[in-house]
Amino acid sequence: MNFIDTVKGSLLEGFYPKGWDFEKIDQCCSVNPADVLKKQPFWNDEFTPVMCESIHDFDMMMGHEIAMEIKTTGENNQKLAMILPVGPMGMYKWAVYFLKEWQVDAKHVYGFNMDEWSDQDGNTLESDDKGSFQNAMIDAFYGPLGDLTVPINQRNFATRENLPTYAKKIRELKDDGAKLVTVFGIGRMCHVAFWEPQFASEFKSVDEWKKQTHRVGAMLHPLTIEQNAITSFKSRTSLVPCRANTIGPGLFLQSDKIIGGCDGTLGRGMMWQGMSFWMTLRYGPDMWIPSTFMPTLPGKLFFLKELAGPLNAECN
């Protein structure tokens, strides 16, 4: 039975982005897991997937990579602009651990949170709200670093007023010799930040799409909302905002290095990120699938071994 045939005449017709080629997606997801690290023609020469056996390894290895970027740029007297996610999150405690062990400060770091929940006008939660990404970053990273932390005036959060200033701030930092590193996860719909695949319908060309630096009050795909209901809201879909402020490809594609993470397993053989992971590695750059551009940049994508599959049907 073919998925595409079963979609026709069902509630799913028109639900998935019209630019998605499901035959190609199935080909991506049918690759032998043993070939997961096999270099693809569209990958940057300095892009590498890094397999992690457990979530503990994943958190530590990704945290070490973040800490090393802070350490190395500091030793080189170079400013470091970091686009930072709230998801995955476990790597931050290890980044803090290594920086404290090494007694390396982050005074040269400029943090840019990549997104934030919002309403249709871009209004966000209060900064101390437990559901806000700003509060999460302070709790997980900026706060625990103590005296070594990023100065308050160098922390940027994706509010309606501040998000539109990111492009100018990052450009000025890069003009001053700063390195831009984007830390990211990959969404169920293959978004980076909350830059959703359906946004591609608004642009006449990939070049136009690549110029988009941000969006205020972006409408999220229903599967993005459900992903977050599962991962962050204890299954309560009614608590998940339907919109967010987010950076766009005009910023994350400027990265001098990327540090990505895929940890979307749920236990007992269940996962939500296997398809997104394989699409990212095998589909090839396509504006309908934002994460497919990330392997074209230098850096690493850390992933849990389980996500490589095989991605076969199994009742759990």
CATH number at residue 241: 3.40.50.1360
pLDDT bin (cut points 50, 70, 90) of residue 7 is confident
Does residue 11 carry a pLDDT above 80? no
Does residue 8 carry a pLDDT above 80? no
Residue at 262 is within a domain: yes
pLDDT bin (cut points 50, 70, 90) of residue 208 is very high
pLDDT of residue 1: 60
pLDDT of residue 292: 99
Instruction: Encode pLDDT of 23-67 as tens digits.
Output: 999 999 999 999 999 999 999 999 999 999 999 999 999 999 999
Residue at 34 is within a domain: no
Q: Supply the pTM of this predicted model.
A: 0.97
Q: Compute the distance between CA of residue 139 and CA of residue 108 in angstroms, rounded to an integer.
A: 20
Instruction: Encode pLDDT of 87-140 as tens digits.
Output: 999 999 999 999 999 999 999 999 999 999 999 999 999 888 888 999 999 999
pLDDT of residue 12: 81
Residue at 239 is within a domain: yes
Does residue 149 carry a pLDDT above 90? yes
Does residue 6 carry a pLDDT above 80? no
Pairing of strands 257-262, 265-267: unpaired
Structure-token pair, residue 254: 């400027």
Residue at 59 is within a domain: yes
Contact of 279 with 291, CB cutoff 8 Å:
yes
Structure-token pair, residue 7: 């979609």
pLDDT bin (cut points 50, 70, 90) of residue 16 is very high
Q: How many domains does the chain have?
A: 1
Residue at 232 is within a domain: yes
Residue at 255 is within a domain: yes
Residue at 180 is within a domain: yes
Mean predicted lDDT score pLDDT of the chain: 96
Residue at 80 is within a domain: yes
Alpha helical stretches, state H, 103-178? 133-137, 166-175
Domain that holds residue 79: 49-308
Does residue 4 carry a pLDDT above 90? no
Strand extents, DSSP E, 157-204: 179-185
